[in-house]
């Protein structure tokens, strides 16, 4: 229920300077930033425990020029990162939006580490497709659950109020000026809460089947792997207030979700030299292009199923991820000493699989690209014991959204900022352009953390001005 109601005559029992809708990474970071600027902040979260898609993610955040990269001898810069983002999305994203987040994210991670003790480190033992430098940063468990737990801990220790089971079901506005929100509690009671500035941090519309059908029809029937509470409220409220929106068909898919286990299988299984085959035992794509666009390709295979095939050396790298360890613990990762035995366990044609793996090994030793355009340069041939996971394609989150400026203020159709509305994370238009293939690994948390900090700071300043009037 994403309604806009007239604010006229509404008695707000409580009014706070900065209201933040959503308790994922974007909302928590925005709240910390606004609080540091001296603003009173209230985070409203529909769930009993703030988690969002952030908790479901691998918690990996790309950032250039950080001290962790310097310590590891990795050369990088915001400009290099920006060039990678623009190249992946074929020039679609607004260069100003790309510059904004690539410049802000490194300092934001160092701020979270220094001020709130988040122990980031850089993933320096493998490269993500499309990134020209090793710049993915994560917490020790490499899980989004740890990221959101630590952010929530920082918010609580800072004394910031987080109201859970507070589903925002409407905004109160005078024209484009937001005066407050309506929250609906689990018992059905409703309550108006006033604000001077509002940060929309309630992610995109991946959980809203009708909006996915409209904007991302190729994944209308795909498994949605993100947080179900992300129903597109920010988009719907923004549109009703006259906000500009962009790239609504943009999204992150993933072509490697263990099925039926429902666990993400890291793409390192591919980048380190693994392949995907269909139930006929044959490859069907250049997997190295990226996991996002691979979702629709996997879904086009018989039964919407593929097998990710790799080996123990690659599994050892993948094991640094909690998700992968869980998939192994659940028995989703098959193991066999020969391709024939692996095929038997996969219940696919043994000759076809053996031929596919032999072709791949030949490419690895002889060089060159396969018929799909994939080069295996630098990858070792697969060696026993072999591994395989049955996977499907899924929608992770949407990347289109509200257009914002350098202060994360939501803009209207003419490019002018709405008076007191901010957006961060999946609520805002990302930097992935209009296609799945435009998603560069980490673009999701990039805009959550970078724009979250910008939005929180700017909303605090705006609230101060508003209350001093």
Ligand X SMILES: Cc1cc2nc3c(=O)[nH]c(=O)nc-3n(C[C@H](O)[C@H](O)[C@H](O)COP(=O)(O)OP(=O)(O)OC[C@H]3O[C@@H](n4cnc5c(N)ncnc54)[C@H](O)[C@@H]3O)c2cc1C
Phi, psi (5° rounding) for residue 42?
-130, 125
CA–CA gap between residue 17 and residue 10 (Å, rounded): 17
Helix (H, G, I), strand (E, B) or coil at 382: coil
- The site for ligand X, by CB under 6 A, has a size of 45
Question: Is there binding between residue 134 and ligand X (CB under 6 A)?
Answer: no
451 binds ligand X (CB under 6 A): no
The torsion defined by the Cα of 143, 445, 233 and 191, in degrees rounded to 10, comes to 70
What interhelical angle do 95-116 and 78-88 show, nearest 10?
A: 130
Contact of 290 with 439, CB cutoff 8 Å: yes
Asked whether 26 and 105 are in contact (CB, 8 A), the reply is no
- 225-233, 276-284, 325-333, 408-416 -> range binding ligand X (CB under 6 A): 225-233
Location of structure tokens 């038997």? 344
Count the Cβ atoms, other than its own, within 10 Å of residue 468: 6
The contact pattern for ligand X, residues 163-182, with x = CB under 6 A and - = no contact, is: ----xx--------------
Q: Contacting ligand X (CB under 6 A), which of 18, 19, 42, 58?
A: 58
DSSP annotation of 217: G
Q: Does 82 help bind ligand X (rule: CB under 6 A)? A: no
- The yes or no reply on residue 53 touching ligand X (CB under 6 A) is yes
The DSSP H or E segment spanning 380 is none
Please list, residue by residue across 135-168, b when 16 or more beta carbons sit within 10 angstroms of its beta carbon and e when fewer do.
bbbbbebbbbbbbbbbbbebbeeeebebbeebbb
Interface with ligand X includes 238 (CB under 6 A)? no
Q: Which of residues 378-437 bind ligand X (CB under 6 A)?
A: 396-397, 425-426
Q: Should residue 288 be labelled a site residue for ligand X when binding is judged by CB under 6 A?
A: no
Is 321 one of the binding residues for ligand X (CB under 6 A)? no
Residue 39 or 147 having the CB closest to ligand X? 147
Mark the segment that binds ligand X (CB under 6 A) among 49-57, 71-79, 113-121, 344-352. 49-57
Q: Contacting ligand X (CB under 6 A), which of 4, 15, 47, 67?
A: 47
Instruction: CB nearer to ligand X: give 193 or 343.
Output: 193
Residue 146 binds ligand X, judged by CB under 6 A: no
CB nearer ligand X, residue 184 or residue 279: 184
Where on the chain is the footprint of ligand X (CB under 6 A)? 21-27, 44-47, 50-54, 56-61, 144, 167-168, 201-203, 225-227, 229-231, 233, 264, 396-397, 425-426, 442, 444-446, 448
């Amino acid at each position: 229920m994403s309604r806009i109601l007239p604010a006229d005559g509404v008695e707000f029992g409580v009014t706070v300077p900065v209201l933040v809708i959503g308790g994922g990474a974007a909302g928590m970071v925005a709240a910390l930033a606004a609080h540091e600027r001296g603003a009173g902040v209230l985070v409203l979260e529909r769930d009993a425990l703030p988690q969002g898609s952030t908790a479901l993610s691998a918690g990996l955040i790309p950032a250039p020029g950080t001290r962790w990269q310097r310590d590891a001898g990795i050369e990088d810069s915001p400009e290099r990162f920006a060039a990678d983002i623009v190249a992946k999305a074929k020039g679609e994203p607004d260069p100003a939006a790309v510059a904004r987040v690539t410049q802000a994210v490194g300092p934001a991670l160092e701020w979270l580490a220094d001020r709130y003790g988040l122990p980031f480190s850089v993933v320096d033992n493998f490269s993500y497709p499309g990134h020209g430098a090793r710049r993915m940063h994560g917490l020790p468990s490499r899980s989004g659950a740890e990221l959101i737990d630590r952010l929530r801990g920082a918010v609580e220790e800072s004394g910031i109020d987080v109201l859970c089971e507070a589903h925002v079901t409407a905004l109160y506005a005078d024209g484009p000026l937001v005066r407050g929100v309506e929250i609906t509690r689990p018992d059905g009671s409703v309550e108006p809460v006033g604000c001077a500035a509002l940060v929309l941090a309630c992610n995109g519309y991946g959980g809203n089947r009708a909006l996915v059908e409209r904007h991302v029809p190729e994944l209308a029937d795909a498994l949605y792997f993100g947080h179900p509470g992300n129903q597109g409220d920010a988009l719907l409220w923004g549109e009703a207030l006259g906000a500009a929106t962009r790239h609504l068909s943009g999204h992150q898919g993933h072509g490697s979700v263990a099925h039926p286990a429902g666990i993400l299988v890291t793409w390192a299984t591919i980048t380190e030299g693994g392949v995907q085959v269909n139930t006929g035992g044959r490859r069907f794509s250049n997997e190295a292009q990226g996991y996002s666009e691979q979702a629709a390709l996997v879904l086009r295979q018989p039964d919407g199923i593929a097998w990710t095939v790799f080996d123990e050396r690659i599994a050892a790298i993948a094991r640094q991820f909690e998700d992968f360890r869980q998939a192994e613990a659940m028995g989703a990762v098959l193991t066999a000493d020969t391709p024939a035995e692996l095929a038997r366990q996969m219940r696919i044609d043994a000759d076809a699989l053996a031929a596919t793996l032999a072709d791949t090994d030949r490419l690895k030793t002889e060089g060159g690209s396969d018929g799909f355009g994939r080069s295996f340069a630098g990858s070792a041939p697969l060696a026993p014991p072999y591994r395989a996971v049955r996977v499907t394609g899924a929608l992770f989150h949407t990347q289109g959204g509200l257009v914002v400026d350098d202060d994360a203020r939501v803009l209207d159709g003419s490019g002018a900022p709405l008076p007191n509305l901010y957006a961060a994370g999946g609520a805002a238009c990302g930097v992935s352009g209009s296609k799945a293939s435009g998603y560069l690994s980490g673009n999701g948390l990039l805009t959550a953390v970078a724009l979250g900090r910008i939005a929180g700071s700017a909303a605090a300043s705006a609230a101060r001005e508003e209350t001093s009037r």
